[in-house]
Chain A
Amino acid sequence: MATHPNYRYAIVVGASSGVGEEIVRQLAARGTRVAALARRKPRLEALAERYPTRVIPIEHDVQCREDLPALFTDLCGKLGGLDLLIYAAGIMPEVGPDEYDFAKDEQTFDVNTVAAVAWLDLAAQRFSGARAGHIVVIGSVAGDRGRMGQPAYNASKAALAAFAEALRNRLDRQGVTVCTIKPGPLATEMTAHLGFRNAMSASLAAERTLERAHRSGEFYLMTRHRILFWVIRHIPSWVFRRLNI
């Protein structure tokens, strides 16, 4: 069984599928009160029915950010506090090898990075005042390099990782932890069209994420990934562009 602090109150953004959904399930099972946010509210209802006193389902589109501060305050009020914010929303639209579609790329950045920054800023402000709290962003190994297949996705996750690192450096001395999780290939809806083999299950990824959620740093979820991506990060650019990865 994983050892981690007992979080009392958590907000999970992007909670209707994949790792986010699993994280909500596992937090609720351990007694945390969770505000679960997603566009597809019906998908949240199942979790809310299973844990009626612990899961608060909220319909929210991360691209609508007008009343975000009010929503954030309201959620903290509904929960009774906040210990943990997990930003797990992310999209990876299919991009063809010759496709340069700004609309698609803009949306990728908007969901994966801009909206994440909006939530992280709110949480950082609150936690820095409280001098306590944990922020977790679900990044990706894909953010480690700009690869030919998913330019916008790679760049959006790289930007998110850099932003989270900066927050971590700011908040460390105030007792707030910022954790960047870099899952490798996962078997989720987002990646279904990629046909990964040997992908990690969302529930295992969620479990490993929660084990690390109270720590500051960047974490891969498998030792294999940590070694592999250390190598990949250090391949010189002139070699990298000739490889097919």
Chain B
Amino acid sequence: MGVSSLEHIAWRDARRVRSLNGFGGYASADAFVWQPGAVEEICEVVSTTEGPIVLRGAGRSYNDAALMPEARALDLTTMNRILDWDPNTGMLLAEAGTSLRRIAEFALAQGFWLPVVSGTARTTVGGAVASNIHGKNNWKDGTFADHLAWIDVVWPSGERERLSPESADYWSVVGGLGLGAITVGAAVRLRRVRSGRVRVVRLAVDGWRDQFDSFQEFAESADYMVSWVDGFGNGRGVFEAAWHVHSDDLASLDPALQFAQPRTLSHLAQRQLKFALARPFARALAAARYGASRLRGGSSYKTLAEYHFPLDAWTNWETIYRPGALLQLQMALPAAAAKGVFAGWLARAQAERMEPTLVVLKRHRPDQATLPYLLDGYSLALDFRVGSWNQGALTAMLRTMMAEGLEAGGRLYFAKDALATADMAERSLGASAVEKFREFLNRRDPHRRLQSALGHRSGLLNGRAVSDV
């Protein structure tokens, strides 16, 4: 034909503009949304058009990772098919827009489960690759990218390539925050399970030392570990270890049992639940949660979905943060420094009367990506409600905490971070990692077609080798 078959589509038509948010609503930007139907269309568009493109899946990053003002937003959620499945090896090939929930439902029916999942099943395979997500089993099973046989990518030149973990660019694409390559599919090695349930042991822990001791104690045996920390306390909380159930339990593999129909918070409930975030109520609720676990610790059974994705039971739980937004700080700290830094953070938040609404502690091991965010140690994730009334003070406090974390050798998680400057990003990643990543970008995306507000903020998109005429 000679001309593009897509020429009839006016990409920068005002009708395509959508107001896009990061999860929790802290970051937002308008973009021209484009939902491709096939990989060929992506190849054609990237090679025949100009201008910045931002990649977007479910939009579950807490920040500006899937946002770029006035760019074309390549929304891959319409490409959500499971393309291939081998029950003998457990290998599942899915398009990038496939949600973890869709894979989990499919896998359970076959007697399998995902090796690594995020705290919500709404995330997509593409997002899981771009952020190299981790779960409650990170210290022993690593990140999402550790369990892929290959990923299929489209380079900004329009060429396609299948990358295995042995190929040079694989570890730059995974964890690459959607820069440099468009991941269009991934082959995940699923794990066989005999039951759709986990046994959960819950322990009340009364301080930071107790927290870390619990992680040490269960690290050998447990399949999953996570701990909730009371934002108003001095490290007390509820530690949970969980194990897959190894007896045959076919009924528990029913996806309908695992994924109950999620409910939506009504406007009234949203308004009433806001009180739960107000300091006195939040303090009382946290104390009650801790107290209840002291009285009734012990062991219980949960379905895999219920255990991994507790908040997915509500479609819009994050709206209780409105009219403000949800802002999260998550950093991984080396094991030796973690206790001092985390205790300091909570003490600071309490002194400034800006306690986090939710605090979660996890154990980690280093990840292999070019842009690493994990290390041998612990991560603490703190949720805050941010609004016009506290934005200045809260972000200043969080930046101070980030500086303390970086000082202690910690790392930022760029699926969550909404505040880091380019200096902070470089300190977190290491200058050589940034240089290596820019070299990858210069080779694969010299014109920086793939952009994001995060990519600009963190300075990763800098250092362009060629300039556009």
Seen from chain A, the residues whose Cβ lies within 8 Å of a Cβ on chain B are: 6, 69, 72-73, 76-77, 80-82, 122, 125-126, 129-132
Contacts and interface: CB of A to CB of B under 8 A. Distances in A.
Contact of B17 (A6, A69, A80, A126): A126
A132 B21 CA distance: 12
A216 to B, nearest CB: 18
Contacts of A69: 14
Given A76-B70, A130-B19, A131-B19, A81 B14 contact: no
**Category for how many chain B residues contact A:** 10 to 19
B451 to A, nearest CB: 12
Interface in B1-31: 12, 14-19, 29-30
B180 interface: no
Secondary structure call for the B interface: mixed
Contacts of A82: 30
A129 B70 contact: no
Contact of A77 (B15, B19, B70, B388): B70
Given A77-B70, A80-B69, A81-B69, A125 B15 contact: yes
B395 to A, nearest CB: 15
Contacts of B17: 76, 126, 129-130
Interface of B: 12, 14-19, 29-30, 69-70, 388
A72 B14 contact: yes
B25 to A, nearest CB: 12
A72 B69 CA distance: 15
7 contacts: A73-B14, A76-B17, A76-B70, A122-B14, A126-B30, A129-B16, A130-B19
B70 A132 contact: no
B15 A81 contact: no
Contacts of A73: 12, 14
A130 B70 contact: no
B29 A81 contact: yes
B319 to A, nearest CB: 15
Nearest to B20: A130
Secondary structure call for the A interface: helix
A125 B14 CA distance: 6
A171 to B, nearest CB: 14
A177 to B, nearest CB: 14
A129 B34 CA distance: 13
Contacts of B388: 6
7 cross-chain pairs, A with B, having the tightest CB-CB distances, nearest first? A126-B14, A130-B19, A80-B69, A125-B14, A77-B70, A81-B30, A129-B17
A76 B30 contact: yes
A132 B19 contact: yes
A129 B15 contact: yes
Contacts of A77: 70
Contact of B29 (A6, A80, A126): A80
A73 B14 CA distance: 7
A210 to B, nearest CB: 16
B70 A81 contact: yes
Nearest to A175: B19
A129 B14 contact: yes
A131 to B, nearest CB: 6
Most chain A C-beta atoms within 10 Å of own C-beta, residue among B12, B14, B16? B14
Contact of A129 (B12, B18, B29, B69): B18
Contact of B18 (A6, A76, A130): A130
Most chain B C-beta atoms within 10 Å of own C-beta, residue among A130, A131, A132? A130
Contacts of B19: 130-132
Most chain A C-beta atoms within 10 Å of own C-beta, residue among B12, B16, B30, B388? B30
B309 to A, nearest CB: 27
B213 to A, nearest CB: 47
A81 B27 CA distance: 13
Contacts of B15: 125-126, 129
Contact of B30 (A6, A122, A125, A130): A130
Contacts of A132: 19
Nearest to A69: B14
Contacts of B70: 76-77, 80-81
Given A80-B69, A81-B69, A130-B19, 14 more contacts: A6-B388, A69-B14, A72-B14, A73-B14, A76-B30, A77-B70, A81-B29, A81-B70, A82-B30, A126-B17, A126-B30, A129-B14, A129-B17, A130-B18
A236 to B, nearest CB: 44
A122 B17 CA distance: 12
A28 to B, nearest CB: 19
Nearest to B33: A129
A132 B18 CA distance: 9
